[in-house]
Amino acid sequence: MSLRPRSPIVRDDDSADSASLSLPRARTLFARALRLRCPACGGGPILLSWFTVAPSCPSCGLHLDRDEPGYWIGSYTINLFLTEGFFALVFGAGVWITWPGVPWTGLAILCGALAILTPILVFPHTKLLYLAIDLTFRPLERSDLVTPHEPGIHESGIKRP
């Protein structure tokens, strides 16, 4: 009897020792991340709150921070690029559309509000996008999976406060 977690990303070959790990194509990883699901298996829920990602996926057991201290720094970089890009796009479009009578005060208020709200609104998406990018370029290892299987919030019947 195998003690390994049942996981859609673990394929058993003929023997228990030769199990291989596989992931879907990058497009699928990114689509799952944007839907706030586990990029590896599509399971969930993997968000404990809007700002907190669960330690591991309740479906496949993937360690979502891949057991690295400071792992989420990459997601903050993506968040910063998205926020700055959106800011620049809105500012440039505002100047372009209203030129030569640009309403500078209104544009500054709008862009300031976007600079505050955008990183909050995309926060979980950028974390899971970073995980999808990492899974695309760094192969999944057996140590990335939890043993034994960790039940999810819905499976264990635990209600969130």
Q: Is the Cβ of residue 5 or residue 94 nearer to Zn ion in the bound state?
A: 5
Q: Is the Cβ of residue 43 or residue 94 nearer to Zn ion in the bound state?
A: 43
Q: Is the Cβ of residue 4 or residue 91 nearer to Zn ion in the bound state?
A: 4
* Closest CB 26 distance from Zn ion, rounded Å: 16
Helix, strand, coil shares, percent, the chain, to 5 = 50, 10, 45
Task: Tell me the residue type at 101.
Answer: G
* Closest CB 31 distance from Zn ion, rounded Å: 14
Rounded Cα distance between 148 and 6, Å, is 9
* Closest CB 138 distance from Zn ion, rounded Å: 16
Q: Is the Cβ of residue 38 or residue 129 nearer to Zn ion in the bound state?
A: 38
What tokens appear for 131 in the block? 């995980």
- What stretches of the chain adopt beta strand conformation (E)? 10-11, 20-21, 47-49, 52-53
* Closest CB 48 distance from Zn ion, rounded Å: 15
Q: What DSSP state is assigned to residue 90?
A: H
Q: Which residues bind Zn ion (CB under 5 A)?
A: 38, 40-41, 43, 57, 59-60, 62
